[in-house]
């Protein structure tokens, strides 16, 4: 019997790489995993690839274009119509784009997918996560896991963000020359800040939120658009998706981590969050900016 039997998980970015390895790990542990893909076909494809890794997996496809807020709202409503609670939410989807694109909501695509999607989807599923914290998901026989089961868990894939700062006057790199090296690192800092803010707001609600720095991952579709030396570097020195998924799975399932919240992790160790990453003002300001852009005031 898996330690996650009877639990429900939702994983974005599950069509390839790290997200897929995390979804497969959760399914292997017995969770019912809702697999998010950009279109119905992509979600279905992701389900089929995970099935080849975990033949008995309990999987449900869910289509969602995470760069579009109306699509996130529809997907969340669809999830909630089928499930009363969510034990584990893994936000793993991300983009790394060479050129500046604007979404139907008028947002820059990298910011929309890497930051706003985490913010909006997590907020829409909060009640379901809180329900997981309030219900006993696992029969008493599985005593050793029963404790850990009573916590809703949010796991945000992020990254060490270096010396990056957020420019609150230009969160979406609209001024100056757009480059993925300018637009992407701030979104990783933003994910860490949002994780901290969710953790603080959820204190005492039976839900924990943590961020993970998986490092370079081989053969990730994330770098398709950028290609070149970056991809070569990742494919040469990167960890396999399975290795990179280890810490995310540990945060999602282990009893050890059921009481930990608001931290950034790598290789099961806590990482420091220097600079703006340890500034409560910055994360509140980002939260307000996101709330405004999402109309979630």
Residue 180 bears catalytic tag: yes
Question: 50 near 27, Cβ under 8 Å?
Answer: yes
| Active-site annotation holder among 118, 161, 178, 180 | 180
- What CA–CA distance (Å, rounded) separates 258 from 151? 6
Question: 148 near 76, Cβ under 8 Å?
Answer: no
27 closest CA partner among 61, 62, 55: 55
Under DSSP, the state recorded for 119 is: H
19 closest CA partner among 32, 5, 37: 37
26 closest CA partner among 105, 85, 111, 86: 86
- What strands, in cross-sheet order, belong to the sheet with 207-212? 58-63, 32-37, 8-11, 88-91, 152-157, 207-212, 264-266, 269-271
- What CA–CA distance (Å, rounded) separates 187 from 110? 8
SS (H, E, C) 79-112: HHHHCCCCCEEEECCCCCCCCCCECCCCCEHHHH
105 closest CA partner among 153, 73, 59: 73
> Active-site positions?
180
């Amino acid at each position: 019997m898996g330690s996650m039997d009877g639990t429900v998980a939702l994983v974005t970015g599950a069509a390839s790489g790290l997200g897929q390895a995390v979804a497969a790990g959760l399914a292997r542990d017995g969770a019912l995993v809702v697999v998010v893909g950009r279109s119905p076909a992509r979600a279905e494809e992701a389900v089929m690839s995970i099935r080849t890794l975990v033949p008995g997996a309990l999987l449900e496809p869910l289509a969602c274009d995470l760069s579009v807020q109306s699509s996130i709202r529809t997907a969340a409503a669809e999830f909630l119509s089928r499930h009363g609670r969510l034990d584990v939410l893994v936000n793993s989807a991300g983009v790394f784009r060479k050129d500046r694109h604007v979404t139907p909501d008028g947002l820059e695509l990298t910011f929309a997918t890497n930051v706003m999607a985490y913010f909006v989807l997590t907020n829409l599923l909060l009640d379901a996560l809180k329900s997981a914290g309030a219900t006993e998901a696992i029969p008493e026989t599985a005593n050793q896991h029963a404790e850990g089961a009573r916590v809703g868990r949010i796991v945000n894939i992020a990254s060490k963000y270096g010396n990056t700062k957020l420019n609150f006057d230009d969160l979406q790199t609209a001024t100056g020359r757009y480059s993925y090296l300018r637009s992407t690192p701030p979104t990783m800092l933003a994910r860490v800040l949002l994780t901290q803010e969710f953790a603080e707001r959820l204190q005492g609600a039976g839900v924990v939120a943590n961020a993970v720095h998986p490092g370079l991952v081989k053969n990730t579709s994330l770098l398709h658009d950028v290609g070149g030396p970056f991809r070569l570097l990742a494919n040469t020195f990167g960890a396999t998706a399975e290795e990179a998924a280890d810490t995310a799975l540990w945060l999602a399932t282990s009893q050890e981590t059921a009481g930990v919240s608001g931290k950034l992790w790598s290789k099961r160790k806590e990482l420091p969050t220097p600079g703006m990453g340890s500034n409560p003002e910055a994360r509140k300001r980002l939260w307000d900016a996101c709330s405004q852009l999402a109309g979630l005031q």
